[in-house]
Chain A
């Protein structure tokens, strides 16, 4: 008995202070020097917090550190004097096709097919574009055919010429559901059935979680199994990813909204032309729209509803509280010639919306923060705020002035385009 007690005593951990083991010395790290960049003296269009006159944007290691009129600049900062210029967030293209992706690729993952040496990137940079939602393959929308699966490859790309590792910031960025409009009855049925299966699954999960919390689950009971191959739908219904449906005409929009309303997922309607005829419905479904203000579609003479295009679509959508992004007639950057209708004049595409009655602030948002929101990257892009990526453009005039040139484009605080030294636009002097 006593022996047993002694043994026990021995086993009880002693309260003796334990000699602290010498911490393994960390390898002498190479001090990564903080890289400061400052844009000084320009008017700063933050988009979300108004315009600051003669302000400074201070960038620390590629992220916006501080913005304001009384920002102290570290002595070792690389400083750009942009007095008299306008500093804006880089434009985010809310819908583009194959921009920065190899033209020959049929890769299921865009990350494996991006071309960091595409000249389209340099042209985009010279146009003020710093990132874009890009689709490849036979996606939905105006320029794609039918999709073979529910999702064609898509990603949000930064225009980091020469730097492959920085290009892809989100993939996939959306679930392409345009088949809901273009697909056969069977294909549409498959989409609806998938949503239905996932809805039932999520309800079962909810019920299981409730029982588990109340301690009423059996010991060997497993959580409900997710339906196979429906991961994208699960994400959609959990609100973790945004859907895209190409819907130009009112009947297509109506059909898209029906699905959105039935299953309550986040959705971007692309190629929207007759959105103005049902702006309130779109607003109620909280869908974003991708529009091209100057694209014309004829009114349907046989319809007893309003139809066709109007230059006022953007203004009407805004009034109904619908958020929208703007893209070009040809959502690409043409390297083969001068297209005049591609993304190189994105700001002027928005100018057409202003012609139709939209205010400039809303037009600017359509090119920046709203576009970022539609791509699910508004935490990083779309406005000049501390903590966001330093993707900035320096303009020599107003954003919507047709004479304005981009003077400098920065991505992650790095100067990617400089009109002074680049070959693109370098020879053109401001009128």
Chain B
């Protein structure tokens, strides 16, 4: 049904489909025109160009491919919060031959950023799409964001302070002399890019206390343009007031938790959203099963109080933004990569099935069980 016929200029049109754009207004019924892997047009009614392969979207719902901005799905964990490893690249440890990349499209995830694990400043994450069998075909950004770890420890706090200060006082590198190659950036220049807002940062915390300690360290840099997001634990709802005041963006697992000393459920993501915090939802873990169950978990959060629109943004455009990828992925808009999911119902509904996963305008999963 969804195997595409050959098309001129790689032209594809999805017609008569309900569209969740995750950016602007949704379309109850619309057309998506894809040209050379990008969205050329998206509208309620658009003329289908001659020669385009047509996908009949009747009864289907299109949404942007899911983005997991903070993943270790390719394995390897551990590492402490000691030291500064700014120059470490997760790219270097990427093994494109891993089977998990072949299986990912059926979960709905079309973009991943894999982070390095070691050190208070751990290094640079790599962003990729699960297409092809080589690093070149997969990687879309070698330096997606800088990853930090917060820990309740004098050494870690001191290291972060030092690195932020270093970044602040390091000027942008001078452009090379004519005809000279661009030298690779030094550690302090990477930190400089981060502090100037040219490279995003994600800080992992492991409890509400660490959020407070991070902001104690960050106080001196609140006026900078640096874009940071915090990976938070389910108890982050306790720090909702603080996070709201700081207009924070958080990455949180889609789990409910218990109010202390009771069995009453709390929806941390909903509490944080209510406090004005921008939400990114992450799968519960790095297992393939957790990626598969992700939308069901998100649905549970919506059922228990998280606004549905907030939830959709939290798994698409917001997730792309924290990894510095929002210019390319995360929403269905003209000019963006054609990473599109087609469901046969509401994507958050347990009864809906993923029928098509499209990456760069190509169908990489056609809904059939392997």
**Which A positions have Cβ atoms within 8 angstroms of B?**
102, 104-109, 112-119, 122, 162, 164-165, 335, 423-424
Contacts and interface: CB of A to CB of B under 8 A. Distances in A.
B238 interface: yes
Given A102-B209, A112-B157, A117 B152 contact: no
Given A102-B152, A162-B239, 9 more contacts: A112-B153, A115-B207, A116-B212, A117-B238, A119-B260, A122-B260, A162-B242, A335-B260, A423-B260
Contact of B209 (A116, A122, A423): A116
Contacts of B207: 102, 115, 117
Contacts of A113: 152-154
A247 B66 CA distance: 62
Nearest to A101: B152
A136 to B, nearest CB: 11
Contacts of B162: none
Interface residues of B, number: 19
A114 B210 CA distance: 9
Interface string B190-215: 00000000000000000111001100
A424 B262 CA distance: 10
Contacts, number: 55
A165 B216 CA distance: 8
The 3 A-B residue pairs whose C-beta atoms are closest, nearest first, are A115-B209, A117-B208, A164-B212
Contacts of B153: 105-107, 112-113
A109 B216 CA distance: 15
Interface string B202-243: 000001110011001000000000000000000100110110
B232 to A, nearest CB: 12
Contacts of B239: 117, 162
Given A112-B213, A114-B209, A119-B261, A162 B152 contact: no
Nearest to A111: B154
A116 B152 CA distance: 12
Nearest to A161: B238
A328 B130 CA distance: 58
Contacts of B262: 423
Nearest to A123: B261
A113 B152 CA distance: 5
Contacts of B209: 102, 114-118, 164
A104 B213 CA distance: 15
Contacts of B259: 423
A117 B209 CA distance: 6
Interface string B259-303: 111100000000000000000000000000000000000000000
B152 A164 contact: no
A164 B238 contact: no
Contact of B261 (A115, A165, A424): A424
Could you say which of A109, A113, A117, A122 has the most chain B C-beta atoms within 10 Å of its C-beta?
A117
B339 to A, nearest CB: 38
A105 B238 contact: no
A423 B242 CA distance: 21
Contacts of B157: 112
Contacts of B238: 117, 162
A51 B208 CA distance: 41
B154 A164 contact: no
15 contacts: A102-B207, A107-B152, A107-B153, A107-B154, A108-B154, A113-B153, A115-B207, A115-B209, A116-B208, A117-B208, A122-B260, A162-B238, A162-B241, A335-B260, A424-B261
A214 B130 CA distance: 83
A425 to B, nearest CB: 11
B216 A105 contact: no
A113 B81 CA distance: 14
Contacts of A118: 209
A114 to B, nearest CB: 7
Nearest to A119: B260
Nearest to B237: A117
A114 B153 CA distance: 10
A116 B157 CA distance: 16
Contacts of B213: 112, 164
B272 to A, nearest CB: 14
B212 A105 contact: no
Given A114-B209, A115-B207, A116-B212, A104 B261 contact: no
A363 B259 CA distance: 36
